[in-house]
Structure 1
Amino acid sequence: MTDARPTRRFAQLALVALIGLGALSQARPALAQAARDPQAEQFVQSRAQRVITVLADKNQSIAQKKATFHQAIDQLADVPKITNFVLGKYARTVTPDQRQRFAAAFRVYAESVYQNRISDYHGEVLKVTGSTVRKPGDVIVNTTISGGQIGQPLPVAWRVLGGGTSWKVVDVQFKGVWLAITQQQDFVSTIDNAGGNIDVLISQLQRDAQRPASR
């Protein structure tokens, strides 16, 4: 039987991308241009690979990995923008106190997905295979992740915004699904079911972050 854990791990890698999950809009217009952006490609190649390398580094202690991983995420993704996006419609009504507590809970929850599985990473490699410029400063970078315990290369696409040497991941596509939107839908549904009480989602994230990794 094929071990599905590597696929689940990298679905999670794409999902929180690591926290690399923000998006500026839910709309995904058709790509109108075919030009590549070498600078955006280099950003994804170096920063996303850095995240994977940190998780697989056997020369660092768990505490060192967590600290380095935290820094690598900030270099890869626009965390404040992500945090606002995943709240969906509730981003407009959340109080400053709730926003602060949600941001802290979401960050800990997102990083715990990887930190609980640090021992599962075994030198996987990310390779950029191309990119498409949607418009200046908005690029889809296509990659594959292979090696380690992965039998077949996994395609992962990264939407990045910026320009020159300044880019940030704002969404990630895995198996045809743009994962930021999925995360937002899940969170908004949880809040809706709680009658609009964002504190219910905050408590859920805090509980989930404390759970041991499932195997």
Structure 2
Amino acid sequence: MNRRTLLATTLAAPFALSVARPAFAEMDINRAVQFIQAAGQELVAAIDSPQPAAARRQQVANILRRAVDVPGVGRFILGRWWRVATPAEQQQYMSLFEETLIRNLSARFGEYQGVRFNLGRSQQRTEDDALVNTIIERPNSPAFSLDWRVGEVNGQPRVVDVIAEGTSLRLTQRSEYSAVISRNGGQVSSLLAAMRQQIAALAAREGR
């Protein structure tokens, strides 16, 4: 993956809906806003912690695991190839997906001490979910806007998608993963190999 693709991966991977929608209930917009605000405050506190970078990344990773519907993300992004994968490949994929997702996000957020999350306008998207807008400010970098799609998954609010500049990035990630498999004869194992390579590159960058 090139740098631009990796950035799309970093933003897109965490925020997707499950193929088999897991017990969604009506999402109250106020609850969605409070959820994103609380998660943002936790992330800022972890990022600005005086601990070493590796410890900050781990704190951020733990917050993301609680905030994001990781199983739903993985199932949606793999899409039709989930049914092609063997049970062993499904298990490997979910493990690699979580590690890729968490390493990408925790590394990116953890690099920017002084990050600020500002709430913008929010809207009820459907009965099932709401969009919560945030403006992310980073030192020495342009601010950017992200819309977090929040649904209620198994009775708890979870981030299920992210929209940047009007584009649902979960669809971008799904397309990229599908392209890797399609280019390699429909073999899910080719995607697993690419994910292992990406994890190795991320680990090397972190100095582990």
TM-score w.r.t. length of structure 1: 0.77
Find the aligned partners of 2:41 and 2:116 in 1 and give their Cα distance. 7
Alpha-carbon offset, residue 150 of structure 1: 2.7
Q: 1:194 aligns with which of 155, 162, 184?
A: 184
Q: What's the secondary structure of 2:57's corresponding residue?
A: helix
Q: Give the equivalent residue in structure 1 for 2:146.
A: 156
Q: Is 2:208 aligned against 1:206?
A: no
Q: 1:45 aligns with which of 26, 37, 41?
A: 37
Alpha-carbon offset, residue 142 of structure 1: 1.1
Find the aligned partners of 1:204 and 1:161 in 2 and give their Cα distance. 30
Find the aligned partners of 1:146 and 1:119 in 2 and give their Cα distance. 14
Q: Give the equivalent residue in structure 1 for 2:12.
A: 15
Q: Give the equivalent residue in structure 2 for 1:111.
A: 102
Q: Give the equivalent residue in structure 1 for 2:115.
A: 124
Alpha-carbon offset, residue 173 of structure 1: 1.0
Alpha-carbon offset, residue 15 of structure 1: 2.7
Find the aligned partners of 1:44 and 1:189 in 2 and give their Cα distance. 32
Post-superposition Cα deviations, 1:20-78, rounded to whole Å, max 9, x if no partner, equal x21247xxxxxxxxxx8221111111114433542x23422344223322221121111
Find the aligned partners of 1:87 and 1:60 in 2 and give their Cα distance. 36
In structure 2, the CA distance between the partners of 1:9 and 1:118, relative to structure 1 (3 Å rule), is farther
Find the aligned partners of 1:9 and 1:187 in 2 and give their Cα distance. 12
Conserved? CA contact 1:52–1:125, under 8 Å: yes
Q: Give the equivalent residue in structure 2 for 1:176.
A: 166
Conserved? CA contact 2:148–2:162, under 8 Å: yes
What residue ranges of structure 2 are gaps of 5+ in the alignment? Answer: 20-27
Conserved? CA contact 2:68–2:160, under 8 Å: yes
Across the aligned residues of Structure 1 and Structure 2, the Cα RMSD in angstroms comes to 2.9
Q: Which amino acid aligns with 1:23?
A: L
Find the aligned partners of 2:12 and 2:194 in 1 and give their Cα distance. 18
What residue ranges of structure 1 are gaps of 5+ in the alignment? Answer: 26-35
Q: What's the secondary structure of 1:160's corresponding residue?
A: strand
% identical aligned pairs: 24
Q: What's the secondary structure of 2:124's corresponding residue?
A: strand
Q: 2:87 aligns with which of 86, 96, 110?
A: 96
Q: What's the secondary structure of 2:50's corresponding residue?
A: coil
Find the aligned partners of 1:119 and 1:70 in 2 and give their Cα distance. 9
Query: How many residue pairs get matched?
Result: 193
Find the aligned partners of 1:81 and 1:96 in 2 and give their Cα distance. 17
Alpha-carbon offset, residue 158 of structure 1: 0.8
Q: 2:66 aligns with which of 50, 62, 75?
A: 75
Find the aligned partners of 1:199 and 1:154 in 2 and give their Cα distance. 35
Q: What's the secondary structure of 2:179's corresponding residue?
A: helix
